[in-house]
Chain A
Amino acid sequence: MAHTKQTLLERRYSLLGLLLIAPTVLVFCAVIVYPLISAIYLSLFSIYTPTLDGEWVGLQNYATLLAKGEFWYSLRTNLIWTVGTLSLQIVFGIGMALVLHQNIWFRSLARSLILFPYFISTVVAVLVWKWLFNDLYGILNHLMMGAGLIEFPIDYLGSMPNAMVSVILVGAWKYFPFVVIAVLARLQTIPGQLYEAARIDGAGPIARFFDVTLPQLREVLVVIVMLRAIWDFKEFDLIFLLTGGGPVTSTQTLPLLVYKEAFSLNQMGMATAYAVIMMLIMLVFMVLYIRRTRTEDGL
Chain B
Amino acid sequence: MADVIFSDVQKRFGSFVAVQNLNLDIRQGEFVSLLGPSGCGKTTTLRMLAGLEFPTSGEIRIGERVVNDVAPGDRDIAMVFQSYALYPHMSVGQNIAYPLKKRRVPKAERARMVARTAEMLQLTALLDRKPKQLSGGQQQRVALGRALVRDPKVFLLDEPLSNLDAKLRGYMRAELVELHQRLGRTMVYVTHDQLEAMTMSDRIAIMEGGALQQFAPPQEVYRAPANRFVAGFIGTPGMNLIDGALARDGNTWRFEAPALQLEARGLGPDARPGEACLGIRPEALTLGSGALRGVVQLVEQTGHENIVVLRVGEDLRLTGRAPGHTIWKPGETIPFAIDADAAHYFAAGPAGARLNARRSGPHESGDAISITNNMREAHQ
Could you tell me which A residues sit within 8 Å of B by CB distance? 191, 193-194, 196-204, 207, 211-212, 215-216, 218, 299
Contact = CB atoms under 8 A, between A and B. Distances in A.
Interface string B83-99: 10111110000000011
A240 B361 CA distance: 95
Given A196-B81, A200-B50, A207 B89 contact: no
B213 to A, nearest CB: 28
Given A193-B81, A207-B102, A211-B98, A199 B73 contact: yes
B52 A201 contact: no
A218 B89 contact: yes
A203 B73 contact: yes
Among B51, B79, B85, B130, find the residue whose CB has the most chain A CB atoms closer than 10 A.
B85
A212 B102 CA distance: 13
Given A199-B52, A200-B78, A215 B73 contact: no
B51 to A, nearest CB: 8
Interface residues of B, number: 24
Nearest to B158: A193
Contact of B85 (A197, A216, A299): A197
Contacts of A197: 79, 81, 85-87, 146
A193 B89 contact: no
Contacts of A202: 73-74, 99, 102-103
Contacts of B89: 215-216, 218
Contacts of A200: 50-52, 72-73, 77-79, 99
A198 B90 CA distance: 13
B71 interface: yes
Contact of A201 (B51, B133, B146): B146
A244 B83 CA distance: 56
Contacts of B87: 194, 197-198, 211-212, 215
B113 to A, nearest CB: 14
A193 B83 contact: yes
B85 A194 contact: yes
B93 to A, nearest CB: 15
B52 A196 contact: yes
28 contacts: A191-B83, A191-B85, A193-B83, A196-B50, A197-B79, A197-B87, A198-B87, A198-B98, A199-B51, A199-B71, A200-B50, A200-B51, A200-B73, A200-B77, A200-B78, A200-B99, A201-B98, A201-B99, A201-B102, A202-B102, A202-B103, A203-B98, A203-B102, A215-B87, A215-B88, A216-B89, A299-B130, A299-B133
A191 B130 CA distance: 17
A205 to B, nearest CB: 11
B103 A196 contact: no
Contacts of B98: 198, 201, 203, 211
Nearest to B89: A215
Interface of B: 50-52, 71-74, 77-79, 81, 83, 85-89, 98-99, 102-103, 130, 133, 146
Nearest to B130: A299
B352 to A, nearest CB: 38
A143 B131 CA distance: 55
Nearest to A215: B89
A216 B90 CA distance: 11
A60 B73 CA distance: 68
A212 B87 CA distance: 7
A184 B194 CA distance: 41
Nearest to B132: A299
Nearest to A203: B102
Minimum-distance CB pairs A-B, first 5: A202-B73, A202-B102, A201-B99, A215-B89, A193-B85
Contacts of A196: 50, 52, 72, 79, 81, 85
Contacts of B50: 196, 200
Given A194-B85, A194-B87, 4 more contacts: A196-B50, A196-B72, A200-B52, A216-B89
Contacts of A203: 73, 98, 102
Contacts of A204: 73
Nearest to A218: B89
Nearest to B99: A201
B44 to A, nearest CB: 13
Contacts of B77: 200
Nearest to B83: A193
A263 B340 CA distance: 106
B85 to A, nearest CB: 4
Contacts of A201: 73, 98-99, 102, 146
A299 B52 CA distance: 33
A59 to B, nearest CB: 47
A218 B98 CA distance: 20
Nearest to A194: B85
A198 B87 CA distance: 9
A203 B77 CA distance: 14
A217 to B, nearest CB: 11
A201 B71 CA distance: 11
Contacts of B103: 202
A193 B81 CA distance: 8
A132 B111 CA distance: 58
Nearest to A207: B102
A218 B51 CA distance: 29
Contacts of A199: 51-52, 71-73
B373 to A, nearest CB: 36
Contacts of A211: 87, 98
A182 to B, nearest CB: 19
A201 B72 CA distance: 8
Contacts of B73: 199-204
Contacts of A216: 88-89
A299 B90 CA distance: 12
Contacts of B99: 200-202
A176 B309 CA distance: 69
